[in-house]
Structure 1
Amino acid sequence: MRPVGGGKGQAGGVQKGLSCRGMVATLLHEIPLQGGDVTDGVVRVGDTVRRPASTSTPAVHALLRHLEAAGFEGAPRVLGMDRLGREILTFVPGTTGLDLASATDEALACLGVLLRDFHDATAGFPLVAEGWEGGSNDDKAPEVIGHCDLTPENVIFRGGLPHAMIDFDLARPTTRLFDIVTTLRHWAPIADPVDRHPLLRNLDVGERLRLFCDAYGVPPRDRRRLLELARIRFHRSYAVMRTRATAGGNWAKMWAGGAGQRIRRAAAWLDVHEDELHASLV
């Protein structure tokens, strides 16, 4: 497992006046971090993480400061910007990704609690659309700020249990259920078995959907809508990724690597198994 603290975004510029000697000294102390799929250039410097800034950085920083004021411990803290125009966040020790511990039912239930605590902590934060990275969404009015990218690579584990979430660049106003669906897409997972991590390939997806919803406290009305919203999300995520891929960069690499086909396979698998999954949920 690797140390974490990475993220997604667009590269910022180098501040004028930074000497070559100062730049070299900075680079010598930088440890590259393998973060998400979208951004390169995420590094660790001491107990901090430096990440390229993006258009959503001001909104993300405001959110992280709100979470700190609310007492939510499951997110990094904002420390400002460095001389290279990168954001500075606290480094959160731990591991990311799936292993024998993080793929357990206990870890999944704890993730449901973590996501519920995060959503509750966003209460009172302005639910305005401006400033956030775009993406697929629910049709209902926003209720919370969703993480919207809670993949195994964006959850920090300690002792095999979820401790914190990182990489908030795709966060945006949404419904609780949309963020739940996005999370379960990766963690149940709602995916064709051929595309699942080996540790998740033979698990009972319906049972894991129910377990997560029980831990989060998803009400019956939302459980009845969960699979419908998952199908909507597949359709819209496919369209969003295809559009972003035309701009090149890492989005194009993900698309060329089969992201669109994986979404299509997941939607087809859901069509076949919807009745049994629904029975487990309700």
Structure 2
Amino acid sequence: MSEVFAEGPEEPLLGGDVTEGLVRVGDTVRRPPSAVSGAVEVVLRHLEAVGFEGAPRFLGRDGRGRDVLSFVDGEVAGRPWPDRIADEERLRSLARLLRGYHDAVAPLGLPEAVLAVPQPAPDGLPARTAGEPELVGHRDVTPENVVFRMGRAVALIDFDLLGPVTRVEELANLLLWWGPWMPEADRGPALRGADPARRARIAVDAYGLPETDRARLLPVSVNLADRSWHLMRWRAEHVGGGWARMWREGVGDRIERRRAWLEQQGESLLA
């Protein structure tokens, strides 16, 4: 059911890869409905109920059927990513925010609304190796999806890729972008020259990841790269839009280079 929300000028919100039609209206964000809308509502309402402040509030749907969320004020990185994303204190605060999100969402379990979100299973897709999912993960912790204030990560936004994960998978996703666990040539200028092993240690220490799980980060990262290649190609072919654009721009090649880099750097990363 749609609700009555104040209307006004619509300011396009840019910076993501695939979401279209995202706008700000006053202190709200309006998003076109999608197959994941119901799951996002369940997760965000749960986070509000348990008092987690690090995510938008799901407010309802407007007269055009769009999802309405609260606007989270602060700094969000655009592209090219600003130099500030290399700051180690920002990385520590992000890892703590992710831990807080996981601890807040874990009691929800894996609700039917999340399990019902269609998940592509293209031919050749490798099986997950991370183990049984523990909670509903964000799964897209990129600089565009983290809000900072005064140099501290305060909120995760854009839950369109949420789904069942282990904590190790979520840390691997964080390290992909913030580590950065990829060849130097494929990193943005802000993170060229960064030490991916040092930044990984900073993140897992701040998160509080157990030692036994740290040893799993590398094989899980390789598995995620393998799966990502197949899923990105499938979405490019069957969904189109931003997915197709990213594939045309060579994301498949970058994923293959990342996988090779992870295997080449494995010993130093684990150490």
TM-score by length of 1: 0.86
Matched, 1:271 2:263: yes
Q: CA deviation at 1:131?
A: 2.8
* Aligned counterparts of 1:35 and 1:54: Cα–Cα separation in 2: 19
Q: CA deviation at 1:272?
A: 1.5
Matched, 1:155 2:146: yes
Matched, 1:123 2:109: no
Aligned residue identity for 2:178: W
Structure 2 unpaired stretches of 5+: 121-126
* Aligned counterparts of 1:52 and 1:153: Cα–Cα separation in 2: 19
* Aligned counterparts of 2:93 and 2:245: Cα–Cα separation in 1: 33
Paired position in structure 2 for 1:211? 202
Paired position in structure 2 for 1:259? 251
Aligned length: 255
Q: CA deviation at 1:139?
A: 4.2
Tell me, what secondary structure is at the counterpart of 1:122? helix
What pairs with 1:176-191 in structure 2 (closer than 5 Å)?
176-191=167-182
Aligned residue identity for 1:134: Q
Paired position in structure 2 for 1:62? 42
Tell me, what secondary structure is at the counterpart of 2:59? strand
Aligned residue identity for 2:75: T
Q: For residues 238-260 of structure 1, what are the alpha-carbon distances to aligned partners after superposition, in whole Å with 9 as ceiling and x for unaligned? A: 01111111122221111111111
Instruction: Point out 4+ residue stretches in structure 1 off by more than 3 angstroms.
Output: 135-139
Aligned residue identity for 2:76: T
Matched, 1:113 2:96: yes
TM-score by length of 2: 0.90
Amino-acid identity (%)? 48
Q: Give the direction of change, closer, same or farther, for the CA distance of 1:183–1:236 in structure 2 (3 Å limit).
A: same
Aligned residue identity for 1:110: S
* Aligned counterparts of 2:143 and 2:29: Cα–Cα separation in 1: 19
Tell me, what secondary structure is at the counterpart of 1:102? helix
Query: What is the aligned-residue RMSD (CA, Å)?
Result: 1.7
* Aligned counterparts of 1:160 and 1:105: Cα–Cα separation in 2: 10
Would the aligned equivalents of 1:30 and 1:43 in 2 still touch at CA under 8 Å?
yes
Q: CA deviation at 1:126?
A: 3.1
What pairs with 1:1-282 in structure 2 (closer than 5 Å)?
29-97=9-77, 98-128=81-111, 130-132=115-117, 134=119, 138-247=129-238, 248-279=240-271
Aligned residue identity for 1:153: E
Structure 1 unpaired stretches of 5+: 1-14, 16-24
